[in-house]
């Protein structure tokens, strides 16, 4: 507990103890009032002060005003014990609320405790500990084992493993070495690293992520806006209702004191604390829980919209697939060994920087000797020829084979097909394709199990798109699309949506910025630090795992379920108690439960959103 909370607890205990003692003190009249004023003021002097300041500042109708009027009225009517008890129990509820909210904020702060305190900068061969804000782009910092990486940069010396769990929610370490990019917020687990800084602290990954989480509360969900507007009209309305209850019935049936007592009970019951506190707390907890799982949600409005999503549109490359080309199949001609086919193609491409050339080389585990290759000649748009071990080798597409008048067997498999010939004789074909992410199939299966329609829009060839879509079980596929075509397709899908249903688009956040913005919700693959992804999307998956989408939806639905439970419970109990209080069936004790009890229960229910939602097996 904080110092302020401890003081409040002491005040409540002292006030409660004095009230109990006064029940046994045989005094009446003015002396009894003066004695009861002591615990009343100990418990509620701050409530009276806030009510006075609210009236002075023109913000009259809030919970402090309701409590002040109700308790002062009870004292004026001679119900000294009840007046003090209402104030004491109200402060107990406020203390509990303060503790619960503080604990929730600390929990989320711990989850996002990735802001580094210092950086070890290297200057003139000496290591100096400085504030990360004081490190400039181009400076060299040293990150020791066990330390958190303070700024984004590039490793210039050393090798290690990084714990990225604070950013991605995954405990699997990431290997890193010279030349690799390194991002702030990760923990260096083993080796000493020297890193050249590429971004100042304000633009680093850790600062951007913290800024997103801290500012997420600014974008309120519909439920939060509803409660804000509701409280604005609700409190004046119940005050007017209490006034009418105190003045109108006595004109017809008499009993002024009894109707004033009922009106005061009415005011206590009507206090909207349960909704005003528990609804924002529910969204705050949901956003924090998602952050711990490596899912950055930029506001409660997006978390709420995700719960209403019924269609999810995927980009292919970099989203459902790795975006890295690799050899998927080797098809040697009769009498040719597959290993020899791959080695011949890789040697011929040894000097090329083309992605396909790199894929061929990476398919060979043994080292390649460049001395075996000469007379390399590239033919733009076709491929190349080279002399490998005194053999004339041609590697390229079907147009190259036709140009060299080499008879070959066309390959119909999806992907990029590379044909290989040796001394004008076709020796086989190699299929190079983008690799489907290991979790992509699981992601689609989970979404379909939740009743989500899945769509894939891609600029890739029809055959490749169909192969990937069929492998993953995508419901609807459109291929060979330009960025503007994707936007048109998404707009067509949006027109088919039912009212209140939402559509989400999942892309890499770089090439898909227009369609990310056009969809109801843009979900980007964050690539643990992609600037474009963090800027373009409403939700960012920090570890590029599409399976996290279903987890995000389960978190959002749990959050909305808790919000609705609190709204129905709080309004239901208050409505029942207001009617019973107005009829004189219930007194201040029921009013205390309808205010403090409902608030405590609603806040307890709201804290359920802080409990992590377990990922499905």
Active site residues: 315
Burial class (CB in 10 A: 0-12, 13-18, 19+), 592: buried
Residue 382 Cα distances to 377, 417, 425, angstroms: 11, 12, 17
174-176 and 193-197 strand pairing? unpaired
Secondary structure element (H or E) that encloses residue 420, with its range: strand 416-422
Rounded to 10 deg, the angle between the 222-253 and 548-582 helix axes is 10
Q: Give the up-direction half-sphere exposure of residue 537: CA atoms within 13 A in the CB hemisphere.
A: 29
Assigned token pair, 270: 């009507």
Angle at 546 between CA 543 and CA 548, to 5 degrees: 75
State which H helix or E strand residue 592 sits in: helix 588-592
* DSSP H stretches of helix in 435-512: 440-449, 462-472, 483-495
In order, the DSSP letters of 334-398 are TT--HHHHHHHHHHHTTT--SHHHHHHHHT--SPP-GGGEEEEEEETTTEEEEEETTEEEEEE-H
Helices (H), 198-311: 205-215, 222-253, 256-270, 273-292, 300-307
Helical segments of 174-221, H only:
205-215
CB atoms within 10 A of CB 379: 15
Nearest to 283 by CA among 571, 614, 599, 564: 564
Classify the C-alpha dihedral 263-266-268-270 as positive or negative: negative
Kindly report the backbone phi and psi dihedral angles of residue 311, in degrees, each rounded to the nearest multiple of 5, phi listed first.
-130, 130
Cα 421 from chain centre:
52
């Amino acid at each position: 507990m904080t110092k302020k909370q401890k003081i409040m607890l002491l005040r409540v205990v002292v006030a409660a103890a004095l009230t109990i003692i006064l029940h046994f003190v045989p005094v009446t009249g003015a002396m009894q009032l003066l004695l009861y004023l002591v615990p009343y003021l100990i418990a509620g002097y701050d409530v009276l002060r806030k009510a006075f300041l609210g009236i002075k500042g023109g913000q009259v109708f809030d919970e402090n005003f309701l409590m002040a009027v109700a308790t002062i009225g009870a004292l004026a009517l001679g119900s000294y014990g009840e007046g003090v008890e209402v104030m004491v129990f109200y402060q107990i509820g406020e203390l509990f609320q303060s503790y619960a909210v503080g604990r929730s904020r600390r929990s989320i702060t711990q989850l996002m405790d990735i802001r580094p305190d210092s950086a070890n900068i290297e200057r003139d061969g000496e290591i100096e500990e400085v504030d990360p804000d004081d490190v400039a782009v181009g400076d060299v910092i040293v990150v020791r084992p066990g330390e958190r990486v303070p700024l984004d940069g590039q490793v210039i010396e050393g090798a290690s493993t990084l714990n990225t769990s604070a950013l991605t929610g995954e405990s699997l370490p990431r290997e890193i070495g010279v030349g690799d990019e390194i991002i702030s917020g990760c923990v260096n687990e083993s080796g000493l690293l020297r890193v050249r800084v590429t971004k100042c602290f304000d633009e680093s990954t850790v600062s951007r992520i913290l800024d997103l989480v801290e500012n997420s509360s600014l974008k309120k969900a519909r439920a939060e806006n509803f409660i804000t507007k509701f409280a604005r009209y609700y409190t004046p309305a119940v005050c007017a209702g209490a006034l009418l209850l105190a003045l109108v019935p006595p004109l017809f049936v008499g009993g002024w004191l009894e109707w004033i007592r009922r009106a005061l009970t009415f005011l206590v019951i009507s206090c909207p604390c349960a909704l005003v506190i528990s609804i924002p707390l529910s969204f705050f907890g949901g956003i924090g829980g998602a952050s711990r799982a490596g899912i950055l949600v930029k506001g409660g409005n997006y978390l709420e919209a995700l719960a209403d999503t019924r269609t999810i549109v995927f980009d292919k490359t970099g989203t459902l697939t790795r975006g890295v080309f690799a050899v998927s199949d080797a098809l040697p001609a009769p009498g040719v060994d597959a290993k020899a086919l791959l080695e011949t193609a890789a040697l011929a491409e040894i000097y090329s920087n083309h992605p396909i050339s790199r894929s061929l080389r990476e398919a060979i585990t043994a080292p390649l000797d460049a001395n075996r290759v000469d007379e390399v000649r590239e033919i733009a748009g076709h491929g190349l020829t080279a002399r490998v071990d005194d053999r004339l080798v041609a590697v390229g597409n079907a147009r190259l084979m036709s140009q060299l008048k080499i008879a070959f067997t066309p390959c119909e498999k999806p992907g990029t097909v590379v044909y290989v010939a040796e001394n004008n004789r076709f020796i086989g074909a190699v299929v190079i394709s983008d690799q489907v992410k290991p979790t992509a199939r699981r992601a689609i299966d989970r979404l379909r199990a939740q009743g989500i329609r899945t769509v894939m829009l891609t600029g890739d060839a029809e055959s490749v798109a169909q192969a990937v879509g069929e492998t993953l079980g995508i419901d609807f596929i459109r291929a060979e699309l330009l960025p503007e075509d994707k936007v048109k397709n998404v707009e067509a899908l949006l027109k088919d949506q039912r009212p209140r249903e939402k559509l989400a688009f999942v892309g890499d956040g770089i090439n898909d910025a227009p369609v990310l913005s056009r969809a109801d919700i843009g979900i980007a693959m964050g690539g643990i630090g992609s600037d474009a992804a963090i800027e373009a999307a409403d939700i960012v998956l920090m570890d590029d795992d599409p399976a996290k989408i279903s987890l995000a939806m389960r978190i959002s639905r749990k959050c909305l379920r808790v919000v609705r439970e609190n709204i129905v419970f709080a309004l239901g109990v208050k409505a029942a108690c207001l009617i019973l209080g107005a009829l004189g069936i219930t007194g201040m004790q029921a009013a205390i439960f309808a205010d403090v009890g409902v608030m405590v229960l609603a806040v307890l229910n709201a804290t359920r959103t802080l409990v992590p939602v377990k990922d499905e097996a």
